[in-house]
């Protein structure tokens, strides 16, 4: 009420002034978005149609950069790597995150402490976490020592063996990011009203049954959200692969991810056109993935 | 059953609000009213404690091992003793003085503080305008801001890198800060918080003749403490821990952040474990300190970052 009165008194000039101030206040963020987000989308597509090096454009190549990317066996090797990584890390993150969320959601003492403890690895930097993992997972490291105590006496250099490198990075990231997934699941769990549980209890359902028949299905929006966040994060894998392999993607391309390849092409080889085309193709993949997930979850909802 | 289904994609707003206010202990299945449940109750509780303790140990052992190793001497790392026989701060001393980590920490601190402060001001002003001021095109512009969250860094990388090369901003702090100003999540967080503040206070300020900026600065900002704290944590952690953009844009050792310095250290001194672990501890410690002090705002930051999708 008072707002209206004020505005009426202020009249038209007051409103124009408000609008001007409004534009002034959002000017800085809008400039950042325009220059560093909106413009680069178009510019990426523009660059992708040229042979573009240190000295700028060296002639149009039409859409050929896209064809070259799609016919590059190394590109497909990196896609296979990231597919393998995603297949390992997403289920691990989701299962661990859900498990921890359910535990922490119980009415017990010290759960704030445990929640913080589970979230702790999520706050450490990827560089530090990877360094620690390199130490613990080296041929003479703590993990192999622990395994030798239970009878598996091998000196596997986990990050430097072609078959174990990617699953090991997946395990590392499942460890460090499941705390974040736990928080997302926790928010979803707390959105389920108590009467549902009470109804289940009156029906005589046990804990186990209640979880699988009531809680788990009701968490569907949570599952969808966590899956999307987890997959989109997985596709971007870069830091750990870079640090583990010294930027090469080795051994024998085993840790070469699409983003790492993209960076190599852009920053080391300065093939901007080619790298830009790769970026657009990756974006297309991510959009398709998200849509596919939405379809998948949407359909099961209808059923 | 349909009535209780949370309507949207993602953690629902009410739960996020609880997380933001730190009220995460509210929910949870309640029971106890049903007779004959007491014993299974206790069994579940014991099981939960056991599981939580086991996971916590698994989560902490690598960090404990790291700290312990950083206090050992190199020959001693060959023996798997939990605690060092000879406690030594030599590794920290070497890392700090001989290997330039003092410089890297300085760079990291400067950049993180700069990015955080700029974001607080810009996102604060912008969030206030989007929440309270009326101007044509406001909704479209705000939608545009949120849409930028959909632009992945891989797509941005080539054009942004090319632009920075052209403007001679590669390997400069300015270029790095400009790129790291993500803003959208912080702007969103500020706007949502300003929307919850009652309008009466502003009206009073306006009737007292305060202008828009003064109203923002004197009335709105002091009320937005929790949102400002969440933005601070979110941005500081994002900047301090960043490896991706730092590795692309900061190319010479004098510009390295602590994360880059650490990665280079790994490449060069592959088996100098005590020093590598000391460097890792140095890279993590500032964030741990912030985490311990502002724990509940960390949760709020993550939760809101989730809303963006």
A295 touches chain B (CB under 8 A): no
- The model's confidence at residue A251, banded by pLDDT at 50, 70 and 90, is confident
Provide the number of CB pairs (under 8 Å) joining chain A to chain B: 321
Considering chain A, tell me which residue range(s) the CATH 1.10.3720.10 domain(s) occupy.
Answer: 67-302
Lowest mean pLDDT among B25-29, B250-254, B300-304: B25-29
- Rounded to a whole number of angstroms, the distance from the CA of B91 to the nearest CA of chain A is 15
* Residue B104 pLDDT greater than 90, yes or no: yes
What's the CATH architecture for B94-308?
A: Orthogonal Bundle (1.10)
Interface test with B, best of A190, A204, A297, A303 (most B CBs within 10 A): A190
Contacts of B213 in chain A (CB under 8 A): 21
User: Is the whole-model pTM more than 0.90?
Assistant: no
> Which pLDDT score, from 0 to 100, does residue B116 have?
94
Which band of pLDDT confidence, cut at 50, 70 and 90, is reported for residue B269?
Answer: confident
A chain contacts of residue B237, beta-carbon cutoff 8 Å: 123
| A28-70: pLDDT as tens digits | 889 988 898 889 888 999 988 888 887 777 778 888 889 898 9
Q: Are A127 and B243 inside 8 Å of each other by CB? A: yes
Instruction: Please report, rounded to a whole number, the percentage of residues in chain A having pLDDT higher than 70.
Output: 93
Q: Where in chain B do CATH 1.10.3720.10 domains reside?
A: 94-308
In chain B, what residues touch A168 (CB-CB under 8 Å)?
none
What pLDDT sits at residue B43? 78
pLDDT in tens, B285-300: 999 888 887 776 766 6
Quick one: pLDDT at residue B303?
58
pLDDT higher than 80, residue B5: no
Asked whether the beta carbons of residue B263 and residue A242 sit closer than 8 angstroms, the reply is yes
Q: Which of residues 63-92 of A touch B (CB under 8 A)?
A: none
B271 vs B37, residue with greater confidence: B271
Cβ atoms of B248 and B158 closer than 8 Å: no
Q: Mean of the pLDDT values across residues B37-60?
A: 78
Categorize the per-residue pLDDT at B13 as very low, low, confident or very high, splitting at 50, 70 and 90.
very low
Q: What is the pLDDT of chain A when averaged over all its residues?
A: 85
Q: Which residue of A has its CA nearest to B151?
A: A37
Q: Is the pLDDT of residue A3 over 50?
A: no
- Chain B positions touching A198 (Cβ under 8 A) are 30-31, 33
The confidence score (pLDDT) of residue B300 equals: 61
Q: Check if B295 contacts A (Cβ < 8 Å).
A: yes
Q: pLDDT confidence of B111, banded at 50, 70, 90?
A: very high
Per-residue CA distances from A293 to A108, A164, B158 (Å) = 35, 28, 28
Per residue in A102-141, pLDDT tens?
888 877 777 777 888 888 888 899 999 999 999 999 888 8
| Cα–Cα dist B31/B19, whole Å | 23
Higher confidence at residue A109 or residue B20?
Answer: A109
Structure tokens at B287: 């964030």
| φ and ψ of B21, to 5 deg | -85, 5
pLDDT value at A164 more than 60: yes
Dihedral sign, Cα of residue A202, residue A208, residue A211, residue A212: negative
Q: For residue B178, what pLDDT band results from cuts at 50, 70 and 90? A: very high
Whether A205 and chain B come into contact, CB under 8 Å, resolves to no
pLDDT on residue B39: 66
With 60 as the cut, is the pLDDT of residue B180 above it?
Answer: yes
Distant-in-sequence contacts of A261-270, Cβ < 8 A, 24+ apart: A261/A74, A261/A75, A261/A78, A262/B154, A262/B157, A262/B158, A263/A238, A263/B157, A263/B248, A266/B157, A266/B158, A266/B161, A267/B161, A267/B248, A270/A53, A270/A54
pLDDT of residue B52: 81
| Chain A nearest CA to B224, separation (Å) | 17
Q: Given this model, what pLDDT does residue B167 score?
A: 92
Least CB–CB distance from A114: residue in B56, B63, B271: B56
Minimal Cα distance from A222: which residue of B?
Answer: B10
C-alpha dist (Å) from residue B83 to B39, B71, B111, B280 = 41, 9, 36, 18
Q: Which of B3, B9, B11, B91 is the best mutation test for A, with the most CBs of A within 10 A?
A: B11
Please, which residues 222-241 of chain A have a Cβ atom closer than 8 Å to chain B? 222, 224-225, 228-229, 232, 236, 238-239
The pLDDT assigned to A11 comes to: 53
Q: How confident is the model at residue B256 (pLDDT cuts 50, 70, 90)?
A: very high
What is the nearest CA distance from B257 to chain A, expressed in angstroms?
Answer: 11
Calculate mean pLDDT across residues A138-146: 84
Task: Tell me the average pLDDT across A245-251.
Answer: 86
Instruction: Please provide the average confidence, as pLDDT, over all residues in chain B.
Output: 81
In Å, how far are A45, A228, A286, A298, B257 from A291, measured between CA atoms? 22, 10, 9, 10, 37
Q: What is the ipTM of this complex?
A: 0.85
- Chain A residues in contact with B248 by the CB 8 A cut-off are 263, 267
Please list, in sequence order, all residues whose beta carbon lies within 8 angstroms of the beta carbon of residue A279, skipping any fewer than 6 positions away: A44, A48, A262, B154, B155, B157, B158
Contact flag B243-A125 (C-beta cutoff 8 Å): yes
CB contact under 8 A, B11 and A184: yes
CA-nearest residue of chain B to A204?
Answer: B34
pLDDT in tens, A201-218: 888 878 788 888 888 988
A277 shares contact with chain B (CB less than 8 Å): no
pLDDT (average), residues B252-270: 91
pLDDT of residue A258: 93
Give the per-residue pLDDT at B211: 85
Which site among A25, A31, A261 would you substitute to test the B interface, given the most B Cβ atoms closer than 10 Å to its Cβ?
Answer: A25
Q: Indicate whether B42 pLDDT > 80.
A: no
Residue in B12, B128, B266 nearest the CB of A25: B128
Query: In this predicted structure, what is the pLDDT of residue B306?
Result: 47
pLDDT digits (tens, 9 = 90+) for B155-177: 888 999 989 988 999 999 999 99
B187: nearest CB among A29, A124, A128: A29
Provide the shortest C-alpha distance from residue B44 to chain A (in Å).
9
**What dotted CATH number matches A67-302?**
1.10.3720.10
The reply to whether B206 touches chain A by the CB within 8 Å rule is yes
Does the pLDDT of residue B49 top 60, yes or no? yes
Position A174 scores a pLDDT of 92
Find where tokens 């009203």 sit: A193
**Which of A115, A83, A276 minimizes the C-alpha distance to A181?**
A115
* Type and span of the H or E element at A141: none
What residues in B contact A228, CB-CB < 8 Å? 309
Residues 5-24 of B with CB under 8 A from A: 5-6, 8-12, 14-16, 18-19, 24
Contact B242, A111 (CB under 8 A): no
Higher-pLDDT residue of A165 and B38 is A165
Check B59 against A121: CB less than 8 A apart.
Answer: yes
Q: Is B113 on the interface with A (CB under 8 A)?
A: no
> Does residue B124 register a pLDDT over 90?
yes
Is the CB of B8 less than 8 angstroms away from the CB of A221?
Answer: yes
Phi-psi region of A157 (alpha: psi -120 to 50; beta: other; left: phi over 0): beta
């Amino acid at each position: 009420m008072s707002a209206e009165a004020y505005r009426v008194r202020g009249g038209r000039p007051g409103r124009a002034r408000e609008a001007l101030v409004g534009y002034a206040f959002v000017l800085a963020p809008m400039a950042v978005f325009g220059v560093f987000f909106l413009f680069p989308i178009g510019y990426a597509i523009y660059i992708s149609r040229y042979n573009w090096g240190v000295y700028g454009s060296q002639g149009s190549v039409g859409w050929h950069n896209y064809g070259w990317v799609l016919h590059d066996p190394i590109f497909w090797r990196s896609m296979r790597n990231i597919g393998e990584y995603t297949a390992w890390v997403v289920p691990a993150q989701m299962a661990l995150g859900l498990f921890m969320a359910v535990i922490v959601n119980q009415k017990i003492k010290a759960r704030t402490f445990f929640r913080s403890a589970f979230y702790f690895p999520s706050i450490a930097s990827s560089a530090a976490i990877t360094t620690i993992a390199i130490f613990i997972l080296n041929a003479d490291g703590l993990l192999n020592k622990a395994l030798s105590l239970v009878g598996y006496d091998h000196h596997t250099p986990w990050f430097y063996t072609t078959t174990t490198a990617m699953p090991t990075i997946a395990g590392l990231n499942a460890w460090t990011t499941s705390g974040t997934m736990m928080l997302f699941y926790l928010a979803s769990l707390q959105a389920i009203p108590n009467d549902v549980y009470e109804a289940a209890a009156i029906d005589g359902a046990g804990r186990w049954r209640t979880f699988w028949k009531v809680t788990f299905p009701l968490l569907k929006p949570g599952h969808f959200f966590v899956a999307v966040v987890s997959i989109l994060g997985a596709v971007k894998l870069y830091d750990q692969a870079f640090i583990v392999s010294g930027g090469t993607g080795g051994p024998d391309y085993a840790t070469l991810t699409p983003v790492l390849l993209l960076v190599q092409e852009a920053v080391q080889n300065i093939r901007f056109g080619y790298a830009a085309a790769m970026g657009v193709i990756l974006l297309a993949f991510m959009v398709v993935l998200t849509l596919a997930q939405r379809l998948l979850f949407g359909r099961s909802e209808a059923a | 059953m349909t009535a209780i289904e949370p309507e949207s994609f993602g953690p629902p707003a009410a739960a996020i609000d609880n997380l933001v206010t730190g009220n995460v202990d509210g929910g949870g299945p309640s029971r106890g009213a049903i007779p004959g449940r007491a014993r299974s109750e206790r069994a579940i509780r014991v099981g939960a404690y056991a599981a939580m303790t086991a996971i916590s140990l698994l989560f902490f052992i690598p960090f404990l091992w790291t700290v312990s190793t950083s206090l050992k001497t190199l020959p001693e790392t060959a023996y798997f003793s939990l605690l060092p026989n000879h406690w030594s701060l030599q590794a920290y001393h070497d890392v700090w003085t001989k290997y330039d980590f003092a410089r890297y920490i300085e760079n990291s601190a400067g950049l993180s503080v700069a990015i955080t402060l700029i974001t607080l001001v810009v996102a604060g002003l912008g969030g206030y305008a989007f929440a309270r001021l009326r101007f044509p095109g406001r909704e479209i512009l705000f939608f545009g801001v949120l849409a930028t969250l959909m632009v992945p860094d891989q797509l941005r990388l080539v054009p942004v890198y090319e632009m920075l090369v052209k403007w001679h901003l590669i390997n400069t702090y300015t270029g790095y800060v400009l790129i790291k100003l993500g803003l959208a999540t912080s702007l969103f967080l500020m706007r949502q918080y300003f929307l919850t503040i009652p309008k009466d206070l502003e009206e009073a300020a306006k009737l007292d003749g305060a202008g828009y900026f003064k109203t923002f600065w004197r009335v709105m900002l002091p009320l937005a403490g929790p949102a400002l704290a969440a933005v601070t944590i979110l941005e500081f952690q994002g900047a301090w821990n960043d490896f991706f953009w730092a590795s692309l844009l900061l190319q010479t050792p004098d510009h390295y952040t602590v994360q880059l310095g650490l990665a280079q250290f790994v490449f060069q001194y592959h088996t100098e474990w005590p020093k590598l672990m000391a460097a890792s501890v140095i890279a993590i410690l500032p964030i741990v300190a912030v985490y311990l002090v502002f724990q509940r705002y960390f949760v709020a930051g993550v939760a809101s970052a989730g809303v963006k999708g």
